Amino acid sequence: MAWSTRELAELAGTTVNTVRHYHRLGLLAEPDRRYNGYKQYSVAHLVCLLRIRRLVALGVPLSRIGAAMADGQVPAEVLREVDAELAAEIERLTKARADIAAILRDGAPADTPEGFESVGPRLSEADSSLLHIYGRLYDDDAMKDLRRMVEADTDPVNAELDALPPDADEATRQDLADRLAPAIAQNLTDYPWLREPGARLSTSEHAGMQTFIDAVVSVYNPAQVDVLTRASVLALQRLDSGQDPAAAS
């Protein structure tokens, strides 16, 4: 019995392009050709192709299949490596499904930073951008604290900060900084590591802090950066003088 490339591919449940790819890799021997130049595959080719497909289905890399075909078996250590990779992929997919479920449940944007799905609908573009970056800078415990901060933050002053135009006048900036300072002071009290975050960074302190500064300057306009700077200074002054963080200015 002899088959064409298309017939062989159909029998093996694959495609003509896949068969040709295996030829190029040297995994499947080229067959003899008929008088008209068409390839004619035998049972041996079919068995070889099915063996390759079985190993591919198990997750064995094509780069390891050639040696396995030559030796007649795949070394146990290769199967163990593949099994470990599959376990990691299953864990990744399981987490992805859980994240998607949370996004759908909370009506959050699909690109909401990981762990912030519950507050995703009310995150500003700047908030979301910064949280994505923070996820690369801070450790898991720090990110949990940041999530608690965001969840507890319902002060409308933040919406005013998000809407602040770059040409906001002096009075508007100072008023906003005065009203923003108590919330910042409260966060610094509740999460002391914010004052010296070096121990919570997953990268070097210099690189982490420089990235933080660059990110803030990039996602906020100059007026917003000015307000945040003023509010942070006021918050630190409030704490250093022993004032109640939550007290009005």
pLDDT tens digits along 124-153: 999 999 999 999 999 999 999 999 999 998
Domain with CATH 1.10.1660.10 in the chain: 5-74
- The answer to whether the beta carbons of residues 131 and 123 sit under 8 Å apart is yes
Cα gap 224→229, rounded to integer Å: 9
Residue 248 has pLDDT above 70, yes or no: no
Sheet strands (E) in the chain = none
The one-letter code for the residue type at 170 is E
* SS3 at position 204: coil
Taking residues 148-171, what's their average pLDDT?
93
Q: Kindly report the CA angle at 32 between 28 and 37, in degrees rounded to 5?
A: 120
Number of H helices, E strands in the chain: 11, 0
Taking residues 8-34, what's their average pLDDT?
94
CATH of 5-74, one of 3.40.1440.60, 1.10.1660.10, 1.20.1270.10, 3.40.50.2300: 1.10.1660.10
Question: What is the CB neighbour count within 10 angstroms for residue 43?
Answer: 10
Consecutive H or E run containing 107:
none
Q: What is the tens place of the pLDDT at every residue in 58-117? A: 999 998 888 877 777 788 888 999 999 999 999 999 999 999 999 999 999 999 999 999
pLDDT score for 64 = 87
Residue 35 has pLDDT above 80, yes or no: no
Residue found by looking up tokens 């006048």 in the block: 169
pLDDT score for 178 = 96
| Tokens encoding 138 | 């801070």
Residue 186 has pLDDT above 80, yes or no: yes
pLDDT score for 205 = 85
Q: Which residues pair with 158 in a beta bridge?
A: none
Write the DSSP string, 162-195: HH--TT--HHHHHHHHHHHHHHHHHHHHH-GGGT
Q: Where are the alpha helices (DSSP H) in the chain?
A: 5-12, 16-25, 43-58, 62-71, 76-106, 125-137, 140-152, 157-163, 170-190, 205-219, 222-240
Question: What is the CB neighbour count within 10 angstroms for residue 184?
Answer: 21
Taking residues 7-15, what's their average pLDDT?
96
Residue 249 has pLDDT above 70, yes or no: no
Cα gap 149→191, rounded to integer Å: 9
pLDDT score for 209 = 87
* pLDDT confidence band for 246 (50 / 70 / 90): low
* pLDDT confidence band for 14 (50 / 70 / 90): very high
**Maximum distance among all alpha carbons in the chain?**
97
* pLDDT confidence band for 182 (50 / 70 / 90): very high
* pTM, to two decimals: 0.74
